[in-house]
Amino acid sequence: MMETLSFILFLALFATSILFITRKWEKKNLPPSPPSKPILGHLHLLKLPLYRTLATISNKYGPIMYLRFGIKPVIVVSSPSMVEECFSRNDVIFANRPRLLIGKHLGYEYTQLIWAPYGPHWRNLRRISALEIFSSSRLKTLYNIRADEVRSMILRLKNGNFDQIVNMNSVFTELTINIMMRMTAGKRYYGNLDQEEESDLSQEAKRFREILNEALALSTAASLGDYFIILKWIGFYNGVEKKMVRLKERGDEFMQGLIEQRRRILSKSTDTDKVVNREKMTMIDVLLSLQQEEPECYSDHMIRGLIGVLISAGTDTTAGTMEWALSLLLNHPQVLQKAKAEIDIQVGGGRLVDENDLNDLPYLHAIILETLRMYPAGPLLIPHESSDDCIVGGYNIARGTMLFVNVWAIQNDPKTWDEPNRFKPERFLFTEGVREGYKLMPFGAGRRACPGDALAMRVIGSALGSLIQCLEWERVHADEMVDMTEGTGLTLNRAHPLEAKCRPYPNMLHLIS
């Protein structure tokens, strides 16, 4: 009985303190804010998909608004000018990340590239990723892997006909997993394998997908524990945290297995082999070779975190963008035919489109940019956190405030874009595209923008171009538009996998056979 009364008293004191803090904050020239509730703050207003809910609230309260997630102060910005203030004048201040549960457990105690606080460690990780993983020279050495996987995808689809329905979600997922796994670890999981090898690798691929999917699910569940501190104190979310710990152990085991496989292969190579095969080195090989020179900098722990980010961030998002692009093309056959005509003129029918052709295919590039505008893979940027007091939009922003950038709202805003709900690639034919200020940010902005944007654009461009060049496409039901309903996950994926019909163009059979 006494314990119950003590707990009730504790809750009352906690609620009183929240009200006191709230009233104190309200006097500090904060951005406009909807009415809040004790303890909850504004969490009761949030519904999935979150980016649409926040966009609706922003339409009423303006391009910068103040919210409280539990006791955590949050600002949401949804205009190019507000983003520019955050990521130009206040770029260093907003270069930090909040210390969320996912960063603690799945972000290797906040040491992974995505979740590391801004400072020397993060700058070192960024330097390594820029020079050793995503540099133009490194991407060039791994070009043949990407080209080979695109060819394999076309070969798997060439036997189709308009009586056969193809699940394009699976096709794109297998393509991106094969590309990322071959680039990082030298192995492919799908297609052209002998039966025994395919069985073993399929199980490994299944483990990888399970780890990734569980990580996405737990990220949503863990957020409640991040914002309701009281629930942590009473152990309400211990179950979620335990699942995260177990998931991290499984992820570590998986990544370390990849590292050990490459280490064994490298140990059997002679110095001559290593020089000759330098261009065939996987990304893990490169990091392991650097480990021999600087073991304290390139530890297995660091390599696991870096490769984990690369594989997870480079599969689901890239596959999802290609799925949205093909969905839009199926619903706009005139755009599909215009892209096909451009490829026929610039590339012809004697070879497949490849990455070297992309600069000569402006309409294909415009299609990709328009897809990324309408359906950005990360509709809300990974949250930032202010490391000091600052001013944004004339309002005072306190140290420790979380920043959400609503990319989806900015890229679909009628004040910024003409007919934003209309698929119109032509809008990007005579623009700078992804360099168009803060109107278009499919890969983020500022110091913590995605370092893999060049790789993503190469994969999407060559894959989508080859699909348009070689195959004739049709909707499953010719008289029905493809359903464009969005899912409710952290990334902007389709609610239902895209299904379509395709068959090879007769004049391309000689090439794709």
Output the known binding site. 450
Which backbone phi and psi does 44 adopt, to 5 degrees? -70, -15
Binding residues for heme: 450
Largest CA distance in the chain: 84
Kindly state the DSSP code that residue 495 receives in the 8-state scheme.
S
Q: What type of residue is 334?
A: Q
Q: What type of residue is 169?
A: N
DSSP H or E stretch at residue 430:
none
Beta carbons of 1 and 26 less than 8 angstroms apart: no
From the list 335, 292, 490, the residue with the least C-alpha distance to 426 is 335
Structure tokens at 103: 């960063």
DSSP H or E stretch at residue 51:
helix 50-61
Alpha-carbon distances of 291 from 132, 298, 301, 392, rounded to whole Å: 12, 5, 11, 43
Beta carbons of 119 and 471 less than 8 angstroms apart: no
Residue 252, SS3? helix
Counting DSSP H helices and E strands in the chain, the numbers are: 20, 9
Residue 245, SS3? helix
Residue 434, SS3? helix
Q: What type of residue is 376?
A: P
CA distance 429 to 208: 39
CB within 8 Å of 61: residues ≥ 6 apart: 31, 32, 33, 34
Which backbone phi and psi does 396 adopt, to 5 degrees? -80, 125
CA distance 28 to 45: 23
Burial of 126 (0-12, 13-18, 19+ CB in 10 A): middle
Strands (DSSP E) found in 306-463: 384-385, 390-392, 395-397, 402-405
Structure tokens at 187: 């192995």
CA distance 204 to 212: 13
From the list 404, 400, 416, the residue with the least C-alpha distance to 378 is 404
Structure tokens at 336: 């599909």
